[in-house]
A = this chain, B = another copy of it.
Amino acid sequence: MHPRKVADSTVRRLAIYLRFLEEFADQGADTVSSGALAQRAGTTSAQVRKDLSFFGSFGKRGLGYDVPALGARLRQILGLTRRYRVLLVGAGRLAGALAQYAGFAARGFDVVAVVDRDPAKIGTCWGALRVDDVDRLEKIVVAERVEIAILVTPAEPAQQLADRLVATGITAILNFAPVQLQVPGVVEVKNVNLAVELETLSYALQHREEN
């Protein structure tokens, strides 16, 4: 049911399909074809069917997929049938945006704590959250039963903070710092680098204009 190795690109698409399935469900549709999903997600019907086929066969030939059933199955595959407790490391503007981002909570990711090094930020409140001292990071991870850390700091302190997070037993990090974190193999790291996205746009513009 869960194959050994599924490509990251496939998993990302599954998450996208889920988003559009929920949209279809809101519109009252009860079945959807691979072609319809593909069009919304910007891919092909064959790709949709192949992606799903890694995990089983959920459709009815001639009909398509049952919208609520496939949605439930995708949530199960992606591990979204439960909620996760998330710690924000860094209390800058981006952290603030993430803390309030409804898209996280809607998907089961609850920000339960925020830490920072800056005394001017420590003690300030963000909605129901209070920014805590980064010195208390280890205690907070344990007390709040944190499962996922989001690293939203400058490059310099990122590796050391990652080491401390790993030492507490955290095994999932979403890293916004522009460094390649060195962590043990059991720890899952996803990197997001916003500047790189703009730079690839710049490359595309540059290259198109030269043709």
Contact = CB atoms under 8 A, between A and B. Distances in A.
Copies of this chain: 2
A75 to B, nearest CB: 10
Q: Main SS of the interface on chain A?
A: helix
Interface residues of A, number: 60
A184 interface: no
A195 B19 CA distance: 10
Contacts of A2: 207, 210
Interface in A1-59: 2, 8, 11-12, 14-16, 18-19, 40-42
6 contacts: A94-B97, A103-B195, A104-B194, A171-B208, A186-B208, A188-B208
Given A174-B197, A192-B194, 20 more contacts: A11-B203, A12-B200, A15-B200, A78-B206, A79-B205, A80-B199, A86-B198, A93-B96, A93-B97, A94-B94, A94-B97, A101-B195, A103-B178, A106-B195, A108-B202, A109-B195, A148-B205, A172-B204, A186-B208, A190-B198
